[in-house]
């Protein structure tokens, strides 16, 4: 009993450390995307890395050893305690048309940490705890121009900079009744937006102070999403699984600080305030979050192959931030993907699940017209050797994604490349002891 207690204590401690890493990583993103200026920032993937290898198809997906947090109805299929951790490296190449520029950057990130626990021996009721980043804000843009006013003709430099993003810690449960499953996630969303515009005159004859216009906002609140799944037997070895999930319009509260000041640099190149022109602290307001819904199906040849389709839409036109609209619009995305297991039991590589998929849609940012986006993905599930004399088994899920946001008709086009690895570690509980 002491041994079991020691093992569980170590697992909980490791999970706590990983959760702390997610929070620190979420605040240390360095992917520079000018589109993250709008709305709540760049929307991060809402699927497990397993599903990202299938083009993001997840609404109707469920199995006994993975945490599909997009649709909490899948929790009703859990049959083993599962620790699910996702990591990714994201590379982004930005091209602007006017002026013609190219910029590339990359960032390693933690995608999520989940713990799934079945509450019944053979499945039918599951409980999940998780933590994951939701959005990311990170951009820094320098603009040099001439300011002509009357007889004044000066060269100025303006730096537009932003940071922040949102994270969510959540708990969810799902249950199964016959062929029907339903579930709900209750999450606590917390995030920040820090925008600044700093301007300096490039003049060697007249001394001008540098100016800083900055807005800092923090917001938080409870959010919910729910889902359902149902499957039909097409024959003895094939099932059709249907799924739907969504989150309705919700509201979280926030506080905002406005800063208008002149500043300069000290000996360490750090900013210090010369004069506070205007300051407004702790202004309260609301963030209205849009409703988001998806529906899909998966045809599953049990133990051999799967193919599925998802359609997702989000009503960003109803989004407001402290009562203000933004350059956002309703978005949609169509996803197609599947997986194949060649032949179970013949060899190691015949037991691997090979995945692929494609997605296409319209982004929620609307600055200079619609931003079309597409992505192609590939992935694999690599089973690890089971530890002797235990019920523990693990799978390494991998995904490679590349795609594009924007096109030649947009001022800025982004090409991205992501490599993701997820580790699903499972252990079977509820086993009756044979020996004492």
Q: How high is the pLDDT of residue 151?
A: 63
Instruction: Please compute the mean of the pLDDT values over residues 151-178 and round it to a whole number.
Output: 89
Q: How high is the pLDDT of residue 436?
A: 47
Instruction: Please compute the mean of the pLDDT values over residues 397-426 and round it to a whole number.
Output: 92
Q: What does the DSSP assignment read for 134-199? A: EEEEEEEEEEEEEEEETTEEEEEEEEEEEEEEEEEEEEEEEEEETTEEEEEEEEEEEEEEEEEEEE
In a domain, 325, yes or no: no
> In this predicted model, which residue has the larger pLDDT, 389 or 337?
337
Check pLDDT > 90 for residue 299: yes
In a domain, 142, yes or no: yes
Whole-angstrom CA distances from 280 to 37, 194, 261, 275 are 22, 15, 12, 14
Check pLDDT > 70 for residue 3: no
In a domain, 432, yes or no: no
- Residue that is written with structure tokens 């990583």 in the block: 25
What are the start-end ranges of the H helices in 328-382?
none
Check pLDDT > 70 for residue 42: yes
> Cα separation of 123 and 65, whole Å?
11
Instruction: Please compute the mean of the pLDDT values over residues 302-325 and round it to a whole number.
Output: 95
Which residue range forms the structural domain that includes residue 92?
Answer: 2-208+220-252+292-306+335-360+371-427
> In this predicted model, which residue has the larger pLDDT, 375 or 343?
375
Q: How high is the pLDDT of residue 266?
A: 67
Q: How high is the pLDDT of residue 9?
A: 42
> Residue 259 is inside which H or E element, if any?
strand 250-265
What percent of the chain clears pLDDT 70, i.e. is strictly above it? 85
Q: How high is the pLDDT of residue 1?
A: 37
What is the band of 223 on the pLDDT scale with cuts at 50, 70, 90?
very high
What is the band of 31 on the pLDDT scale with cuts at 50, 70, 90?
confident
| Mean of per-residue pLDDT scores for the chain | 86
Check pLDDT > 60 for residue 389: no
In a domain, 213, yes or no: no
Q: How high is the pLDDT of residue 30?
A: 66
Is residue 217 classed as helix, strand or coil in its secondary structure? Answer: strand
> In this predicted model, which residue has the larger pLDDT, 391 or 75?
75
Nearest alpha carbon to residue 170 among 294, 13, 19, 57 = 19
Q: How high is the pLDDT of residue 150?
A: 65
Question: Number of C-alpha atoms within 13 angstroms, CB side, residue 148?
Answer: 1
Nearest alpha carbon to residue 62 among 313, 247, 243, 245 = 243
**Residue 313 contacts residue 332 (beta carbons within 8 Å):** yes
Q: What is the CATH number of the domain that holds 9?
A: 2.40.160
pLDDT per position as a tens digit, 89-121: 999 998 887 677 788 888 888 999 999 999 987
Is residue 346 classed as helix, strand or coil in its secondary structure? Answer: coil
Lowest mean pLDDT: which of 9-23, 217-231, 244-258, 266-280? Answer: 9-23
pLDDT per position as a tens digit, 320-342: 999 999 999 999 999 999 999 99
In a domain, 241, yes or no: yes
Q: How high is the pLDDT of residue 404?
A: 95
> Cα separation of 245 and 225, whole Å?
7
In a domain, 49, yes or no: yes
What is the band of 428 on the pLDDT scale with cuts at 50, 70, 90?
low
- What total of structural domains would you count in the chain? 1
Pairing outcome for strands 81-97 and 42-43: unpaired
Q: What does the DSSP assignment read for 68-132? A: -TT-GGGGGG--SEEEEEEEEEEEEEEEEETTEEEEEEEEEEEEEEEEEEESSTTSSEEEEEEEE
In a domain, 365, yes or no: no
In a domain, 296, yes or no: yes
Q: How high is the pLDDT of residue 6?
A: 41
What is the band of 394 on the pLDDT scale with cuts at 50, 70, 90?
confident
pLDDT per position as a tens digit, 52-103: 999 999 999 998 888 999 999 999 999 889 999 999 999 999 888 767 778 8
pLDDT per position as a tens digit, 238-277: 999 999 999 999 999 999 999 888 877 766 666 777 777 8
> Cα separation of 280 and 296, whole Å?
47
What is the band of 7 on the pLDDT scale with cuts at 50, 70, 90?
very low
Check pLDDT > 80 for residue 18: no
């Amino acid at each position: 009993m002491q041994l079991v207690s020691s093992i569980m204590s170590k697992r909980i401690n490791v999970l706590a450390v990983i959760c702390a890493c997610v929070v620190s990583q979420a605040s240390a993103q360095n992917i520079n995307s000018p589109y993250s200026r709008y709305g709540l920032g760049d929307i991060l993937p809402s699927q497990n890395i397993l599903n990202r290898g299938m083009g993001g198809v997840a609404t109707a997906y469920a199995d006994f050893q993975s945490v599909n947090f997009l649709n909490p109805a899948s929790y009703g299929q859990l049959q083993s305690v599962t620790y699910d951790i996702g990591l990714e490296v994201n590379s982004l190449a930005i091209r602007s048309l006017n002026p013609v520029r190219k910029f590339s950057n990359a960032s390693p990130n933690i995608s999520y940490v989940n713990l799934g626990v079945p509450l019944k021996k053979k499945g039918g009721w599951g409980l999940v705890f998780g933590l994951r980043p939701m959005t990311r804000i990170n951009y820094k843009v320098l603009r040099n121009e001439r300011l002509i006013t009357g007889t004044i003709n000066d060269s100025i430099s303006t730096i537009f900079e932003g940071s922040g993003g949102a994270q969510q810690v959540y708990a969810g449960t799902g249950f199964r009744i016959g062929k029907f499953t339903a579930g709900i996630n209750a999450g606590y969303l917390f995030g920040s937006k820090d925008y600044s515009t700093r301007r300096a005159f490039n003049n060697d004859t007249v001394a001008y102070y540098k100016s800083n216009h900055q807005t800092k906002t923090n917001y938080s609140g409870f959010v919910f999403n729910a889902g359902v799944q149902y499957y039909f037997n097409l024959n003895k070895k094939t099932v059709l699984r249907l799924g739907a999930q969504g989150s309705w319009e919700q509201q979280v509260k926030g506080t905002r600080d406005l800063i208008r000041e002149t500043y300069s640099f000290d000996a360490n190149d750090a900013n210090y305030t010369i004069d506070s022109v205007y300051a407004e602290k702790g202004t309260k307001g609301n963030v209205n979050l849009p409703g988001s819904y998806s529906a899909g199906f998966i045809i599953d040849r049990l133990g051999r192959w799967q193919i599925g389709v998802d359609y997702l839409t989000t009503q960003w036109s109803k989004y407001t931030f402290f009562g203000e609209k933004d350059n956002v619009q309703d978005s949609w995305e169509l996803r197609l993907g599947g997986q194949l297991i060649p032949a179970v039991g013949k060899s190691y590589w015949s037991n691997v699940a090979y995945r692929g998929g494609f997605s296409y849609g319209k982004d929620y940012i609307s600055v200079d017209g619609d931003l079309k986006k597409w992505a192609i993905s590939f992935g694999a599930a690599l089973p690890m050797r089971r530890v002797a004399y235990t019920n523990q088994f693990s799978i390494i899920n991998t995904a490679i994604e590349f795609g594009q946001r924007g096109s030649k008709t947009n001022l800025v086009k982004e090409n991205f490349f992501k490599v993701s690895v997820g580790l699903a570690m499972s252990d079977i509980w509820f086993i009756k002891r044979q020996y004492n």
